[in-house]
Amino acid sequence: MMERVRLRDLGITIGALPTGEHNAITDVPGVLVGHATVIADEPRVARTGVTVIVPREGIWSDNVFGGYCSFNGNGEMTGVHWLEESGMIDSAIGISNTHAIGVVRDTIVAHAVAHGQIGGFLLPIAAETYDGWLSDIDAFHITPAHVFAALAAARGGPVAEGNIGGGTGMICYGFKGGIGTSSRVVSTKSGVFTVGALVQANYGARADLRVDGVPVGLEIGLDKVPAREEVPAPPPPGDAGSIIVVLATDAPLLPVPCKRLARRAIVGLARAGGVGYNGSGDIFLAFATGNHLPPGAGAPLDVKMLPHGQIDDLFVAAADAVEEAIINALCAAETMTGFRGRTVHALPLDELRRVMARYRPDTERF
């Protein structure tokens, strides 16, 4: 099998907009990403972790606008009541496994307390997808130390993808899933802005997978690469799975436009084959760093607002970046064996390239 590369390394692009430097959420200036990965076989099998996104350094004293969208709420994202009410985010965002969302959330508070930054109150955003197939999730592996480690590791630049951080044990379209990222650069009358996406992809039935419209999941069906292998018995079929999306932009979006941007994650998800099955927690967050919002201001804040009429390219960018981030997660993730000897296979990239070539005529588009 060929080595893991990103989707664009295979000559496949999503949409017409250019990417940022790293084709990552960190292309939005100031955004930091950190991972802590927990892999162990003893005493109980762990294939899990934590990923954090810091909207910008100094987030405690320089908040950002944000908004969210729940496409199918069979999942958890904490902190949304205040996000909806205030339109602001004032701390790091954490993503982990389902049973760890509480410890991740509380530890983001503890981290702020430890840094003397908290004035009594913080309502962090923590989200999850379920990794109980490959990881013994009922062992409650994640501890505050892992969350502190992910926060300490947060930085800009290239972002590791696949089996890392919160994405470690995830499964997507019956292939190994995990963390993926992508970005787009858009030019508007109000300036040039970047939109970045980071996903923790853990959803979908094999037959649904599409890459740039091509029915890859039908072509690399379960007869070619089984969705999940275990010893001795096959898993019951199920619609379980989820996807968390975090979108970032440096455009001056007010809170409601952030929510609108988050909603466009549905477009990227749908184009990649997602339907939002009943068992899926498809919850999407967007934040915008284009304004500076010190808490406790005594006078009206001066904020910039991108006119609504200029937002379309950001919508396209969000949809494209989410679609590519999902496929990047599949491209980066490697075959993993975990809990109870179960194996989940990586998306075979040579097969992917072969299928794409069959479905794309020889034009300048491909």
Q: Are 12 and 354 in contact (CB under 8 A)?
A: no
Stretch that binds a copy of itself, among 38-46, 78-86, 179-187, 336-344 (CB under 8 A): 78-86
Residues in region 208-247 near a copy of itself by CB under 8 A: 210, 212-215, 218, 239-240
Q: Which is nearer to a copy of itself, 76 or 324 (CB)?
A: 76
Catalytic residue among 183, 242, 250, 320: 242
Q: Are 246 and 53 in contact (CB under 8 A)?
A: yes
Stretch that binds a copy of itself, among 120-128, 155-163, 170-178, 196-204 (CB under 8 A): 120-128
SS3 label, residue 55: coil
136 is catalytic: no
Residues 6+ apart with CB under 8 A from 159: 22, 24, 25, 26, 33, 179, 181, 198
Residue-by-residue DSSP string for 187-236: EETTEEEEEEEEEEEE---GGG--BTTB-HHHHT-TTTS-S-B-SSSPPP
Residues in region 261-290 near a copy of itself by CB under 8 A: 263-264, 266-267, 269-271, 274-279, 281, 283
H-helix or E-strand spanning residue 313: helix 312-332
Stretch that binds a copy of itself, among 50-58, 124-132, 172-180, 344-352 (CB under 8 A): 124-132
Q: Which is nearer to a copy of itself, 245 or 346 (CB)?
A: 245
282 is catalytic: yes
280 is catalytic: yes
Residue-by-residue DSSP string for 246-263: EEEE-S---HHHHHHHHH
Q: Which is nearer to a copy of itself, 261 or 332 (CB)?
A: 261
Work out whether 195 is an interface residue with a copy of itself (CB under 8 A): no
CB of 84 to a copy of itself, least distance (A): 6
Work out whether 256 is an interface residue with a copy of itself (CB under 8 A): yes
CB of 58 to a copy of itself, least distance (A): 18
Tokens of 271: 């184009």
With CB under 8 A, what is the number of residues at the site for a copy of itself? 99
Q: Say how many CA atoms lie within 13 Å of 96 toward its Cβ.
A: 36
CB of 155 to a copy of itself, least distance (A): 25
Binding characters for a copy of itself, 297-316, by CB under 8 A (x = yes): xxxxxxxxxxxxx-xx--xx
Q: Which is nearer to a copy of itself, 164 or 306 (CB)?
A: 306
How many residues are present in the chain? 366
Q: Which residues pair with 214 in a beta bridge?
A: 211
